[in-house]
Structure 1
Amino acid sequence: MSKSSKKKQSAEVSTKESADNTQPAPTSSGSGRRPGYKAKTPEERRLAHKEGIIKTAVAAIIGIIAGIIANLQLGVADDPTIKWYVIMMFIVGLSFYVMKFSFPIFKIKAKEFGFKDWFYVEFIVIDFCLVTWTLLLN
């Protein structure tokens, strides 16, 4: 067999294999988007932006309250039996449940949160708690 006949034969085999494949090929709209990506409407984008602001604001307020309480209860925390990371883990656990039950009040579906969402809001809580506690100590 010559090289050209091998190419023709492999081309025929590949077209038969692709014909057997029943999944449609992804189409490109030419806009550079990934196939299967649904563009959000302006209303959906506005709603997602509003939810993001509310999530951040609630987490920040809870963090500020946690920092004030930590300062009132512990102050400088000179007690060597209480470690600061234990306090932070207690705040993370408590703020998780506070946010889980307070988000529905603001019409945010906490049941749809993934790991990334919870990590984001807990980071905001810890960040604001530590900043508030530090400012009150000075």
Structure 2
Amino acid sequence: MSKQNPKSKSRKEPAKIAEATSEVPAAKIETPEKKSFIKERTPEEKQKEHRDGIIKTIVASLLGTIAGVLCFYLYGTGEDRIWYAVLTIVIGITYYIQKIFYPQLNISTKEFKFKDWFYVEFIVIDFFLIVWTLLLN
């Protein structure tokens, strides 16, 4: 007997299955069903997700605007501050504010993934930097 390599083995397996099916009547053969990994959402779920997305965007933009105004009045031009420390402080504070504020708006933070937190914090930082820059001009 010669050794079979993986390619020849995979070629022979369908033949074995075909032989086995010829012995069993067609009514008794169970075919594996294709499993769908995409969860179908109802219109109500789609509407709720859309509404939650709008609320997340509005809250994040308001927090970024407030942070930009506060930094302008507290630090002015920020020349005597380390810029990445200010960004880290803004990210940390707004993260915890959102973590407390979203459940009050019936948005579950337990379902948030990294992508969701990255999205809302990116919006906060964008609005923060834009408002602070506009106020400096």
Q: TM-score, normalised by structure 1?
A: 0.77
| Higher radius of gyration, 1 or 2 | 2
Aligned residues: 117
C-alpha separation in 2, matches of 1:60 and 1:88: 15
Cα distance, 1:99–1:11 mapped onto 2, change above 3 Å: closer
Q: Determine the structure 1 residue equivalent to 2:77.
A: 76
C-alpha separation in 1, matches of 2:66 and 2:13: 70
Matches within 5 A, 1:57-136: 57-79=58-80, 82-136=81-135
In the alignment, structure 2 segments of 5+ residues that lack a partner are 1-11, 21-29
Counterpart of 1:37 in structure 2: which amino acid?
A: I
Residue 137 of structure 1 deviates from its aligned partner by 0.6
Deviations, residues 13-40 of structure 1 (Å, cap 9, x unaligned): 2456xxxxx993306xxxxxxx232322
1:12 maps to which of 5, 8, 15: 15
Residue 110 of structure 1 deviates from its aligned partner by 0.9
C-alpha separation in 2, matches of 1:10 and 1:38: 33
Deviations, residues 59-94 of structure 1 (Å, cap 9, x unaligned): 110000000001000111121xx2111100110001
In the alignment, structure 1 segments of 5+ residues that lack a partner are 1-8, 17-21, 28-34
After superposition, the CA RMSD in angstroms is: 2.1
C-alpha separation in 2, matches of 1:23 and 1:95: 53
Q: TM-score, normalised by structure 2?
A: 0.77
